[in-house]
A = this chain, B = another copy of it.
Amino acid sequence: MEFPSELIEEAVKEISKLPGIGKKTALRLALHLLKEQEATTENLSAALIRLRKETKYCGTCHVISHTTDCTCRTISRDLSVICVVVDTPDLLAIRSTGQYQGMFHVLGGVISPIEGIGPENLHIDSLVERINASAGEVKEVILALSATMEGDTTCFYLSRKLEKTGVKITTIARGIPVGGELEYADEVTLGRSIVTRTNYTSGHI
């Protein structure tokens, strides 16, 4: 595509580096900003720069924060459980269900030999230290990783590592999604949901 101005060309080039945004969408966004007041663009730019420069990660749970102090301990109502997640979106998704009030621990990825990510690149040692340092306060670790090959490998590795700490290790239930039709479920999920069947309780979500 040929652009009428090098300023647009430059903006489109930078915007289309973002994931899921192609050149056409980038152009639409650039033209939108041109139509809006200058303050819109200034605020957007400033927010992005502040986000990138000032964001910190909690030294204990590795959650994104604007301070290095752990907010886990202050906002959690249950200090006996740690939920292990891969990254911030998963944490937000679990928190927004309203079903979990415990602490979190962000791994920062999953073990993936293809991408060259080994256990040493993840926040695994700090999880073990954290549990040991709690002196028995932490009683359960929930592994909330995606049900992929890499997720399962990471769960297995974590379970071995956490064995010595003596905490109870659980994982989120795999099964048929709420509202899902049995007919369209894949065999593995359906098989697992039968093997790990639970007692029926009415009113159960």
- List A residues at the B interface (Cβ < 8 Å): 1-8, 10-11, 13-15, 17-21, 25, 27-34, 38, 40-55, 63-66, 71, 87-89, 91-92, 95-96
Query: Is B15 touching A44 in the complex (CB atoms < 8 A)?
Result: yes
Point out the residues of chain B lying under 8 angstroms from A15, CB to CB: 44, 47-48
How many copies of this kind of chain does the complex include?
Answer: 2
CB distance from A51 to the nearest CB of B (A): 4
Point out the residues of chain B lying under 8 angstroms from A17, CB to CB: 40, 44
Query: Is B14 touching A66 in the complex (CB atoms < 8 A)?
Result: no
Query: Is A92 touching B55 in the complex (CB atoms < 8 A)?
Result: no
Give Cα A91 to B31, complex, Å: 13
Query: Is A8 touching B49 in the complex (CB atoms < 8 A)?
Result: no
